[in-house]
Amino acid sequence: MLSTEFKEELEDGKVLIFCRNGIFQARFYKGDRQYIYKSLKTRKVDEARKLALKYLHEMEFKQREGLPLQHKSFNEVIDEYIALRQSQYQKSLDVKTNSSSQQQTSIHMLRQIKRVAKFWREYCGTKSVSNIDNAVLQDYVPWRKDYYHRMAEDKRPRNYKINPADKTLEWETTLAKTLLKFAFERGYRGKTQLPTYRFKAERAIVRPTFTVAEYWEIIKGMRKGIRETKNKEWKYTKELIRDYVLILANSGMRVGEANNLKDKDVVEFKDELGRRNFMFSVRGKTGRRIVIPRTSVVRYVERVRERNEIRLNEEVVREVRSPKRKIVDTDGWFFSMYDGNKIVTLIDQFNALLDSINLSESRDKEKYTLYSLRHFYAVMMIRRGIPIFDIARNMGTSVQIIEKYYGKQATPLALATKLGG
């Protein structure tokens, strides 16, 4: 809100000067219903008029010459961009948000942007955004490859990778180009052309997927672990892991999507064959979408809900005995820990399971992760002859990604059968 102490238009409304807390400010119209605000740093109205006109003439000269109207450092652009994506994320939390008409930002994407932005801040954060060109982007790659080598080992963060993968470098340079485009659209680069440099990963790295035999070894390992566990809380966790793994492997959901599921997001329905199933309303990289799992998931969902109901009833009993204790919300997390809290990550428990059955790595010495269950789902769907477009839509990804990363996993026999009609 502009102060009502003083307002005055100059140059047919191109400039508005006003007073806020005794200091004169100016608002300049730059076109396309956009304005630039600037403090004139004076308490004298005559001086404020002169300064405002001076800045206006400078701005008009810059517009004619195609120069940036405002000097912004890369750090300032990063701050603005993150604030925008943060706002998008906050809006996406509203269930009434129409994901088809508004850009969405997931919490995972927001965290990734913030994580990678730290490298760009350190590399060229103080540099003017108008001076970042192809050479700056190209020189980032060797700088980034040497980043952790230059750092003392005790200063390196947890889970760091000493040598970034090509796909990591491709993503990080792509983010920089996105930031520069953001700056260009706001006039921070004037008419300076955007850099064309692009770092291209030499080869696509496909995360390992379990074979059918390995998948059954995992199931047997989970069953064995549950049978041998007597502690109530530990047994709950092992049962949670079992159903979590089975649902991921038979739905193609991302790990983060599963962790964010609320009980109300899981809805029962019957398909055209009259079979019971559940649909999952997930919030992922592409906004809200419906995931339809295989019908075998029905009993896994029922086990999760039965376990949640038992836990909730126990919480109610404890609440009666101890009124200060908080009752878990009945409309809470679908996958929840023993205390009712949201899952942060189950990767440690999953790794322990794989270690117990000597299956932490693939035959090519690639480490298995929870995301390997998503890849297992994609490969199995392809082998069952499900159209790639349908698989991609259910998984919230593109047909190109399915073809690039999973298409070659289809066996020649399965492909021959499909082609044979």
> In this structure, are residues 268 and 276 in contact, taking their beta carbons and an 8 Å threshold?
yes
Note whether 330 and 312 are within 8 A (CB).
yes
d(CA 48, CA 19): 10
CB-CB contact of 108 with 253 (8 Å): no
Q: What was the pLDDT predicted at 115?
A: 93
* Other residues' Cβ atoms within 10 Å of the Cβ of residue 188: 23
- The per-residue pLDDT for 103 is 58
Spatial strand order of the sheet with 276-284 comes to: 266-270, 276-284, 287-291
d(CA 391, CA 400): 11
Residue 415 has a pLDDT of: 46
Could you report the per-residue pLDDT of 45-100, keeping only the tens digit for each?
A: 899 888 888 878 777 776 676 666 667 899 999 999 999 999 988 887 765 444 44
Output Rg (C-alpha) for the chain, integer angstroms. 28
For the segment 148-177, what is each residue's pLDDT rounded down to a tens digit?
A: 999 998 898 887 888 888 889 999 999 999
Is the Cβ–Cβ distance between 256 and 284 less than 8 Å?
Answer: yes
Separation of first and last alpha carbons in the chain: 68
Intervals of the chain under pLDDT 70: 1-5, 62-63, 65-70, 94-103, 202-207, 285-286, 315-331, 407-421
**So what's the pLDDT on residue 179?**
95
Q: What is the predicted pLDDT for the residue at 123?
A: 96
Three-class HEC string of the chain: CCCCCCEEEECCCCEEEEEECCEEEEEEEEECCEEEEEECCCCCHHHHHHHHHHHHHHHHHHHHHCCCCCCCEHHHHHHHHHHHHHHHHHHHCCCCCCCCCCCCCCHHHHHHHHHHHHHHHHHHCCCEHHHCCHHHHHHHHHHHHCHHHHCCHHHCCCCCCCCCCHHHHHHHHHHHHHHHHHHHHCCCCCCCCCCCCCCCCCCCCCCCCCCHHHHHHHHHHHHHHHHHCCCHHHHHHHHHHHHHHHHHHCCCCCHHHHHCCEHHHEEEEECCCCCEEEEEEEEECCEEEEECCCCCHHHHHHHHHHHHHHHHHHHHHHHHHCCCCCCCCCCCECCECCCCCECCCCHHHHHHHHHHCCCCECCCCCECCCHHHHHHHHHHHHHCCCCHHHHHHHHCCCHHHHHHHCHHHCCHHHHHHHHCC
**47's tokens:** 């001086």
- For 133-171, letters b (16+ CB in 10 Å) and e give eeebbeebbeebeebbeeeeeeeeeeeeeeebeeeebbe
- Residue 48 and residue 22 in contact, taking contact as beta carbons nearer than 8 Å: no
CATH number of this structure's domain 212-419: 1.10.443.10
Q: Residue 357: count other Cβ atoms within 10 Å of its Cβ.
A: 15
Residue 349's identity, in one-letter code, is: Q
* Cβ(257)–Cβ(282) below 8 Å: yes
Pairwise CA distance, residues 364 & 341, whole Å: 37
pLDDT at 401: 81
Q: Where are the domains of the chain?
A: 7-65, 74-94+101-185, 212-419
Q: Which of 180, 181, 190 is nearest to 67 (CA)?
A: 190
Residues 6+ apart with CB under 8 A from 141: 169, 173, 199
Q: What is the pLDDT of residue 55?
A: 79
Map tokens 């970034």 to a residue.
164
Residue identified by tokens 């064309």 is: 196
pTM (two decimals) = 0.57
Residue 56's pLDDT is what? 80
